[in-house]
Structure 1
């Protein structure tokens, strides 16, 4: 029994240890997670999780921190997401969501507001009350109207001038009186300005005797006017009681109240005073004729009533102001059309189609032109004024190679010859053998009529025209492929040029800007297309090639005529080569740029031309920078070779790293200048190429440390120190150091790595100016938390099975 308990505890302990080890490894891995070590699939999985949780790219910092990514690695992670094109998915999701919300709200507001708005704007005259630039405010600077009646609150200005001069500004009291100093009260309420002047003058004459004798005069004017209360009722947008200036008219009152409503009449607006209708205002008088004479001045306690409309009809189509119009009982369709400004120039006036609502259904009514003046209207009628047909009764068209192409009128018995004469004849480029007439048959299906242009002009062929005939006369150049010739090679402007008759080889060379300095005059080739009428299966000839030598005494170049589609090749002279330059810099006597004087010039020759090395030069550290690609074809060839290599790489970061190194314009080429100078012309002494740059440094005295070292730094070079001595001088290897992959880059670009002898590492020798690199180990992926729990549970289950078996055996 004790052994059984001990065995179960042993398995449980193993499971716990595994779980703890996996958990600690997972935490350690998360804490050391680097963006460069993530594969493309892991980055895509991270972006997919962000999309599901609606996390935008702008919140990547917080989300990455929650996932255990250090803050220093977030910019690199963002670059990885952008390089894979996944940032568009995160930003597009936000844009789509915002667009859907905005589209719904806008569509909802437009749907709810558009019908009412459309209906208001379609009623003729309704826009008058929506115009912010039109206020209908009464003009208070006008002379006092003669028929204006004074009331409580008005200011009366009394001017006495002549032998006696005095001015009084008096307000009418609530009882209707004005109080004149030295005279007393005078009742003026309800009096017109004229009546008030007579009464006031009569009373003033009692104290001013000059008034009767004619030496003193009295003038009565209106100062500040009073306010009145007016009630607006009926079918109006904002009915109610309004306080207006006493000079306000019916139009002013309508404007401040918003005008007639949807069902309000524009033509039956009543002014009620003391229970009686004293005036009926028609807004159409103002809208159509600009007449406001019926807009009377309102008085206090007046009522403006807007009645419902009686008859409304709609006009649309070819009228100048399509809208819904209100008609009075005796008005006809002709009067409504005049309200709409009349017909447009494109209107068809013979018939007007009307849609009318009867007792049960709709019906169509056709109104002829003679019926329009007397046609009686019915509310709800809709009149459509159509336009004239887009057809011509006598049109013929001529196009192509004539001097004045265009549209002409078809005259009786007009022939094609007459039409060509009206177009001032055919041009010099016209093809005279054949022309075409596009004609419509009786069923309006198209047909073509061909003719001989020359015979028509000479009168040998007579073709009568019909309406809508379209004549086309083609040009010679339009019926054939455009002729051209091509010149390539050593000319200043190679390319394709238009061909002309009697064009010679020298002419084409001149068009191409002349020959280049490198052109060979003894080997000019002209390639020509074979034009044979018959087919011969045994003939394998594909083109005709003719060579010319401009240096020859019997030169026939000036006599050789080109043909369409000829191709001329001017080749490069075999002995011609452009100057090539190289650069040597650093510790030489004469550094600078040198021209290569021989195809077999070596590095050692260039050093000698530069005066040799200086005493403090360090030839072991000299480097050579050489162009990556000599020609464009080299670049294309290498790109094709690398395409297969890129397809084998799975990680985008690896592909980008390789591409970046390939696309450099210059690459480092390691040389051994010390061996070159000891043995000129040896295998180390390379030939020079165009663009080479040789750099000779001074004596180097340090060694640089990089990678998984506790304190990377520069260390003074000492010939007695080994590789491990330099490592120990920088703090030693870190726990993540991959020692067996350590390598050294020497000053001249040469690289040596660590080798393995049995179980020991053999490190390379350290030289002055060397750089020591210690790479890091790859992070091994451990078990996840769920996997560790599953493994521990499995081990515990196995332990129980073993215990059960042991019990069964006993």
Structure 2
């Protein structure tokens, strides 16, 4: 909702000096100011027609925004009222807005006062107890996780709405807000006599009353000084709220994790207290927790009712000086096996085995619940008791018993299985006098490719070993023979394809999709080429080879022959019934389509740099060389530097490589050994004339200098400041611009290689040598000592 702009606020503050007036007003005067300002801002910002505004139905959020705007404005009551009336606000609208705003202010003051009182009380030491018990590993005792779980909390809350049935006690704070034609605030504490004292009204006894009844009684007594409050059309209103609630002290003793006295809010329950104390310890009872009030047992709590039945009646509200006594458990049993819950369970005297089963959540789906086992400790040792499930309701449970439920035996008693060449293989119900033919029909009969000459049944012997029964399916299907089935019989029927290697034909070579294809009868040579996607452009359809393996009879005889070879001539368009297209293939035939002898992909080479026509050129024949490429490019330019020409090639064998060539020799001796034959993808690059020499490595000042004709390598080293101290002079080499290298030759004197324009002189560094350590010196000394001893022995 928009409000009067900030500029207007500032102007009004400057003109009327309202901020100073506002800060000096008494409490009730500020309420009047807020009243008129709220009317003004609500009317001016909500609607164009002020008379259409109904403050009674205005949202609470808008009222709060109006309050915030009023606090930032600071107008006097007279000015605010005049401005509201000028906009057309009626007196009824002003009164309605007064009620809404006063109620909002009263609620806020109540909260602020409660927080202030809480703070003062806490400073005095009346501080609520906090949980100091560390969460420990969950015990095996059922119920212990309720009070030892990081994700579950029963911390008492003090920021809750006061229940209507809340019983008011000594020390509780009552806040009364009056608004309307009269305004007033009362903050009263229930004294030791159980009364609150309202000025001009007198004492009102409310201790022990519910909040709802106390509220009614207080409003009735307020009409003694605010008569308008009790009329048929009241213009004065009262709101009763609880301020800070009193705290109570509760003692928790017995078998508890952290016994002691706990200070709790008056709204705390038994579970709040048990949570703060950590709940029962390892031997504490979860089912007989006594709340002692006024020296009598007020309530006995059974936590299992809450855990199992979600019965919140066990979570009773506590009173000051209540004692929570947790005795030791009297009877405890262990539950294991196929139960949904496992662990230790507390059992009461009148409870039986069926109650323990209920506490454990019942059985799992794998449980053998027909017969349960109870392991019982006796004076002389242990005993085992078998309890049928139907007797669980009366079976007595003793302290220390262990109850166990085993798993069902995963053995079928009426199952037969069929697999293989039937439409619905799987497991089926066995019945008395069930035959093999009955099982086949249950499986929706045999498939068309079923192998009928032999099938087998795997059957269990009496000692659980297995044996195999083989049979012929033909008399079974015709009814000439009948085989009765036993439980757990497994019938296996093979298909014709199961007993044979899957036949295929293979197409390789110059076809678009070479590979293996499933064989089908009457597949022709043209069909195979068709399945392989047809011929590639490089295919020679006039020479197609078919290799066929030897027959069973031929393979049984020793011979040098391995396969039969057939050659055929097909048309490229695979015309039907033309040439050898109708040659019928057999399983495992291999069709090979050869590449045409003269077929070549379009090959090209590139020349870059100082030639007349640089670019890509096609290779016309197998005999073209580098010299031919220079000629195709129109020859060299005057700026060409032949010593720097480089040649690169990509091959399947070596990948990408640079080849050092001497273009001068190539052009002087075309067709010679150095004039390489061109291949697809070759690149010849001829740079323009180079004028520098680069010196790198272990020299004083590595850099590039101008090439000087006739100067030796030593000249360029000197120009770079000479060798550095770590230079390996005998390994200096020159890398020429065409990629070739030449190293220093040493025989009495060093013979440095020639330097050409564009060369790079490389001076390598000496390898670092590791110093001789103390351990090494000791080893050397020991070796010499051993030699000396050996020599002395020989000389004797």
TM-score, normalising length from structure 1? Answer: 0.70
Contact 2:143 2:286 in 1 (8 A): no
**Equivalence for 1:768:** 757
Alignment pair present for 1:127 and 2:150? no
CA distance in 2, matches of 1:795, 1:255: 83
**Equivalence for 2:310:** 290
Post-superposition shift, 1:384? 0.7
**Equivalence for 1:699:** 689
Note the alpha carbon deviations across 1:229-269, whole angstroms, 9 max, x for none: 22111111222112233343433332332222221111111
Contact 1:121 1:127 in 2 (8 A): no
Q: 1:346 to 1:770 in 2, by over 3 A?
A: closer
Q: 1:304 to 1:776 in 2, by over 3 A?
A: closer
Contact 2:143 2:303 in 1 (8 A): no
Post-superposition shift, 1:699? 2.2
2:475 is paired with a residue whose SS is: helix
**Equivalence for 2:448:** 428
Among candidates 407, 412, 417, match of residue 397 of structure 1:
417
**Equivalence for 1:661:** none
Among candidates 289, 295, 303, match of residue 275 of structure 1:
295
Among candidates 184, 187, 190, match of residue 172 of structure 1:
190
CA distance in 1, matches of 2:218, 2:766: 117
CA distance in 2, matches of 1:237, 1:777: 77
Contact 1:124 1:324 in 2 (8 A): no
TM-score, normalising length from structure 2? Answer: 0.71
1:590 is paired with a residue whose SS is: coil
Alignment pair present for 1:153 and 2:176? no
**Equivalence for 2:583:** 560
Among candidates 466, 469, 482, match of residue 449 of structure 1:
469
Contact 1:548 1:555 in 2 (8 A): no
2:601 is paired with a residue whose SS is: coil
**Equivalence for 2:67:** none
Q: 1:382 to 1:603 in 2, by over 3 A?
A: same
**Equivalence for 1:237:** 257
Post-superposition shift, 1:377? 1.3
Post-superposition shift, 1:178? 3.4
CA distance in 1, matches of 2:436, 2:617: 79
Q: 1:359 to 1:142 in 2, by over 3 A?
A: farther
Q: 1:515 to 1:282 in 2, by over 3 A?
A: same
2:410 is paired with a residue whose SS is: coil
Post-superposition shift, 1:596? 1.2
1:374 is paired with a residue whose SS is: coil
CA distance in 2, matches of 1:577, 1:736: 56
Note the alpha carbon deviations across 1:666-717, whole angstroms, 9 max, x for none: 122322x334434434454333233222222222233333444443433333
Contact 1:439 1:448 in 2 (8 A): yes
1:715 is paired with a residue whose SS is: strand
CA distance in 2, matches of 1:417, 1:257: 73
Contact 1:124 1:323 in 2 (8 A): no
**Equivalence for 1:616:** 639
Q: 1:743 to 1:443 in 2, by over 3 A?
A: same
Which range moved further: 493-502 or 248-257?
Answer: 248-257
Ranges in structure 1 where 5+ consecutive residues have no aligned partner: 1-112, 636-663, 799-810
Among candidates 408, 418, 429, match of residue 388 of structure 1:
408
**Equivalence for 1:689:** 679
Alignment pair present for 1:731 and 2:749? no
Q: 1:481 to 1:299 in 2, by over 3 A?
A: same
CA distance in 2, matches of 1:196, 1:680: 123
CA distance in 2, matches of 1:779, 1:134: 70
CA distance in 1, matches of 2:643, 2:390: 113
What is the correspondence of 1:84-99 to structure 2 with a 5 Å cutoff?
none
Post-superposition shift, 1:422? 1.5
Among candidates 562, 568, 577, match of residue 548 of structure 1:
568
CA distance in 2, matches of 1:621, 1:131: 79
Alignment pair present for 1:314 and 2:337? no
Alignment pair present for 1:358 and 2:347? no
Which range moved further: 326-335 or 586-595?
Answer: 326-335
Please tell me the root mean square deviation across aligned C-alpha atoms, in Å: 4.3
Among candidates 117, 129, 132, match of residue 137 of structure 2:
117
**Equivalence for 1:377:** 397
**Equivalence for 1:668:** 659
**Equivalence for 2:70:** none
The total of aligned residue pairs comes to 644
Contact 2:153 2:275 in 1 (8 A): no
CA distance in 2, matches of 1:121, 1:555: 87
Note the alpha carbon deviations across 1:302-333, whole angstroms, 9 max, x for none: 21111111101122233333332211112111
What is the correspondence of 1:63-102 to structure 2 with a 5 Å cutoff?
none
Post-superposition shift, 1:222? 8.3
CA distance in 2, matches of 1:245, 1:144: 17
Among candidates 580, 592, 598, match of residue 603 of structure 2:
580
Which range moved further: 592-601 or 742-751?
Answer: 742-751
Contact 2:607 2:684 in 1 (8 A): yes
Note the alpha carbon deviations across 1:392-432, whole angstroms, 9 max, x for none: 22222222222222222112211111111122111223222
Q: 1:696 to 1:298 in 2, by over 3 A?
A: closer
CA distance in 2, matches of 1:413, 1:210: 100
CA distance in 1, matches of 2:294, 2:628: 125
Q: 1:358 to 1:573 in 2, by over 3 A?
A: same
Post-superposition shift, 1:180? 4.8
Contact 1:583 1:594 in 2 (8 A): yes
CA distance in 2, matches of 1:712, 1:196: 102
Post-superposition shift, 1:560? 1.4
What is the correspondence of 1:158-557 to structure 2 with a 5 Å cutoff?
170-182=188-200, 184-185=202-203, 223-224=242-243, 225-293=245-313, 295-533=315-553, 539-550=559-570, 556-557=579-580
Q: 1:359 to 1:692 in 2, by over 3 A?
A: same
Ranges in structure 2 where 5+ consecutive residues have no aligned partner: 1-133, 788-796
CA distance in 2, matches of 1:183, 1:746: 117
